[in-house]
Each structure stands twice: as structure tokens, then as C-alpha cells.
Amino acid sequence: MKKLSLFAIIIFASFSSLSAQAIFTSYAFNIEPKDQNTVLQLYKNYFEKHPNKGVTATLYENHFKGEQIATHELVFSGPAELMGAGYDSKSSDAWLLFQSELSKYCKGVSAATGKRISGFGDTSSAIYPVQDVLFVIIKDEDQYKAKFDAFWSKNTSPNTRISFGSVGTRIQDGTTHYIVRSYKDFTTKFTDDIQHAKGYTEMLNSLKDIRTFTTSKTRTVLGKW
């Protein structure tokens, strides 16, 4: 994964694993609708032949997004030592060819790094393909985490997951952290009634002085390797 290009791969970790402190790198890019199937096949062909042991690559398509949100993104996630080994390794001829082919269809937008801090919900390996991503500015991480953990450890809805983490590198909008709610399907997302859970409004009110929302999006998983 050394010398990554925004044209080569494309923010945020694969949330099927809820283990804390997982590292992620994310690359966002735009694809014309007519080229999406071609790009998906390129990713599938490469990662099925060249898996990275212990590191997950997840390709997403973004929906319900603002003007500054790219059409697609790819996220690498895994333990720090394995992620580091991947980035330290020499780029293979197959990887360089893969980048070259992707550059014909993908236009790079942004990149990010970060780590997962907390996560709650189903801990199985099942893929929850629909995800709401919120980007936020948090003034006091410890205070936010304490309130986040206290509420979500007891109130995660069936067929959902939630993760909270920090962002190390991102576009210049001030974002420091993210929240991801993952759903089994769109029906679960649209019928989720967490707003009426006991203590939900109180939790939000208790955080309003240390949390500012910057942007949000909904994304779906196109492929995971």
C-alpha cells in the first residue's frame, strides 16, 4: 500500500469489527455513473488476487450527501502494526498497474487517517452495508467518550452498530472526530426510532457545548475484501 494515489484507491474504517483503536486510512474520489461497474470490477479483481492479511479494504458509494462529498471512497482498516507494514512495503508491479487502470476512471478528492475509539452493537462478522457518517468537531474527547459510551452501551437498536473515533488528517473544515451508525438494510435505517430512547435527548443536550457538526452523508458498501 506504499505510495498510495488518490486515483488508485479510495473515509472511514470497515465497521463490521468493533474492536477499539483500529487504524484506518481513507481515500475519496469521484466516478462517472457509466464507469462505476468498471471500477468495482477492477477493485474486485485486484483485492481477490492480492489480499492483505489482517487488513480490510472496503469500497463505498456515497448517497444523501452534500456538494463537497465525493461519489465513492475506499477505506483500509486494521491493527496499527499491519497497517504500517502495508504502507512500508515496496509497491509491486501489480499494484502500480492497478493504480494506472483506476486513474482512467477516478478523480481524487480527499484523504484521511484516524482511529476507532468506541463501538457498540453486533460483534459478528456480518456486513452492515448501510451507514450514516457524521463528522464533528469535539472540544473534549474524554468527556464526549464517557457520555457516548454510557448511552450507546445500553441503547444500541437491533440490527445496528455505532462507532466513534478520531480523525488525524482531513480537509480543512476543522473536523476532529466521526460517528458512524451502521444498519442491516435501508428498512432498518428508515424505521430506526432511537430518538425516542430514554435519555437520548438528555445526552444530546449534555454534549452541545463540546460538539459541533461539520457534515454528514449516507454510504453503502459496494465491496469488502
Report the pLDDT value the prediction gives residue 15, as an integer from 0 to 100: 36
Report the pLDDT value the prediction gives residue 12, as an integer from 0 to 100: 37
Report the pLDDT value the prediction gives residue 123, as an integer from 0 to 100: 84
115: Cβ–Cβ under 8 A, 6 or more apart, which residues? 21, 22, 23, 24, 165, 166, 168
The terminus-to-terminus CA distance of the chain in angstroms comes to 14
Provide the residue-wise pLDDT of the chain in tens; the chain has 225 residues.
444 443 333 333 333 334 445 889 999 999 999 999 999 999 999 999 998 888 999 999 998 766 678 999 999 999 988 998 888 888 899 999 999 999 999 998 888 889 999 999 988 889 999 999 999 999 999 999 999 999 999 999 899 999 999 998 655 678 999 999 999 999 999 999 998 899 999 999 999 999 999 888 999 999 999
pTM: 0.83
**Cell 464533528, residue located:** 136
CA-CA distance, 217 to 223, in Å (whole number)? 18
CA-CA distance, 65 to 221, in Å (whole number)? 15
Checking 62-66 for CB contacts under 8 A at 24+ apart, the result is: 62/217, 62/218, 62/219, 63/217, 63/218, 63/219, 63/220, 64/217, 64/218, 65/217, 65/218, 66/215, 66/216, 66/217
Residues 119, 15: contact at Cβ < 8 Å? Answer: yes
Report the pLDDT value the prediction gives residue 111, as an integer from 0 to 100: 86
